Structure formats: structure tokens, C-alpha cells
């Protein structure tokens, strides 16, 4: 098989396989910065990984590892439903009717067609999330205080779709 044919086969396989999420082995990492009230900042990295699926009960187990500055945490949670390509398709189709905007979000690992949704909490904190066609859905998230100063901005760093 020629190099060109092998590359084409790999491209077709990876595109087809990417649509198979959620599946065991899906792993997504976001990284960014958190700004403290005193003006200092620290790095943040969050990784979510699908580690198990009970088909009988349709329960998913997801491991979440977080590094925030010097603090490291790890947790496992169960869910009956995980984000899927059909949810992305529905979200994109209804994005503007939900008050969102469709945006191409360019990151170091690629450009993603997203639905940007913005919410404001009771304390005035503004949360912007860019939802895309990846496991767990969120491509990037920015949290701003009531004065619109960014407090947190983790963005997608890597994706591994289950094998």
C-alpha cells in the first residue's frame, strides 16, 4: 500500500471513529489560567476520561483529574448520559434560538465549529462556553467576574477518542 493510500485510509478511519463517542477510552484535556482577586494567577489543567460503560444499566464512569496550581485532585463519577454527536447536532441547529452564536473557535490543536452560550450567575459571574463536536462537548470556557475581568479560561488542549 502506498503512503498516500495509507494516509487516506487512516483519515477515513479516524473521521468515522471520531463519530463513535461516547465510548470507553475517550479522553479530553483542557488547560488554561485562573486569575485570583489579588492579581496573581495559576495554571489549571482538567482531564476527563471515560473509563467504563455498563451496557446493561447504561451507566458511564468518568474519571476527572484536575491540577490547579500545586493542588491535584482525582474523582470518578457515574452518569446515565454523556454528550454525543446527536446532541451537538441539535445544539448547533438550535443555537441562536437559545441565545447563542455559532462561531469557529481556533485553538492550537485545530478549528472547531461551536455554539457559544453565555450565562450569568446570581453573583454576576459571566460564564461563556463554546460547545463543539468532541467528547464531553465543551471546547473552551471563560469565566468573568461582574466587572467582566477574566477569572478562568481553560481551553481544549488534546482529544483522544476511545479505541
Supply the CATH number for residue 119's domain.
2.40.360.20
For the segment 28-87, what is each residue's pLDDT rounded down to a tens digit?
A: 999 988 877 777 888 999 999 999 999 999 999 999 999 999 999 999 999 999 999 999
User: In this structure, is residue 90 part of a structural domain?
Assistant: yes
pTM to 2 decimal places: 0.79
User: In this structure, is residue 2 part of a structural domain?
Assistant: no
Domain count, the chain: 1
User: In this structure, is residue 6 part of a structural domain?
Assistant: no
Burial profile 69-88: b = 16 or more Cβ within 10 angstroms, e = fewer: eeeeeeeeeeeeebbbeeeb
Residue 130 has pLDDT above 60, yes or no: yes
User: In this structure, is residue 10 part of a structural domain?
Assistant: no
| Three cell numbers, residue 29 | 484535556
Residue 97: give the domain boundaries: 23-160
User: In this structure, is residue 111 part of a structural domain?
Assistant: yes
The predicted model gives 84-105 an average pLDDT of 96
Cis peptide before 22 (omega within 30 of 0): yes
β-strand 101-107 against 71-79: which pairing, if any?
Answer: unpaired
User: In this structure, is residue 11 part of a structural domain?
Assistant: no
User: In this structure, is residue 14 part of a structural domain?
Assistant: no
Percent of the chain with pLDDT over 90: 56
User: In this structure, is residue 89 part of a structural domain?
Assistant: yes
Q: From the DSSP assignment, how many helices (H) and strands (E) are in the chain? A: 2, 10
Query: Are 1 and 143 contacting, i.e. CB atoms less than 8 angstroms apart?
Result: no
The predicted model gives 79-103 an average pLDDT of 96
What string of DSSP letters covers 34-67? EE-TTS-EEEEEEEEEEEEEETTTTEEEEEEEEE
Pairwise CA distance, residues 6 & 12, whole Å: 10
Number of residues assigned to the chain: 163
Amino acid at each position: 500500500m502506498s503512503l498516500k493510500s495509507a494516509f487516506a485510509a487512516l483519515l477515513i478511519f479516524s473521521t468515522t471513529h471520531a463519530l463513535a463517542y461516547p465510548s470507553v477510552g475517550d479522553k479530553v484535556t483542557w488547560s488554561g489560567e485562573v486569575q485570583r482577586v489579588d492579581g496573581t494567577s495559576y495554571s489549571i489543567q482538567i482531564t476527563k476520561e471515560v473509563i467504563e460503560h455498563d451496557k446493561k444499566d447504561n451507566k458511564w464512569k468518568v474519571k476527572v483529574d484536575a491540577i490547579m496550581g500545586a493542588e491535584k485532585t482525582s474523582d470518578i463519577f457515574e452518569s446515565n448520559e454523556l454528550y454525543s454527536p446527536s446532541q451537538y447536532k441539535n445544539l448547533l441547529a438550535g443555537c441562536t434560538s437559545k441565545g447563542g452564536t455559532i462561531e469557529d473557535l481556533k485553538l492550537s490543536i485545530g478549528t472547531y465549529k461551536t455554539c457559544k452560550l453565555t450565562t450569568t450567575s446570581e453573583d454576576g459571574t459571566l460564564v461563556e462556553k463554546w460547545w463543539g463536536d468532541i467528547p464531553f462537548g465543551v471546547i473552551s470556557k471563560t469565566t468573568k467576574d461582574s466587572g467582566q475581568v477574566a477569572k478562568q479560561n481553560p481551553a481544549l488542549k488534546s482529544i483522544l477518542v476511545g479505541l
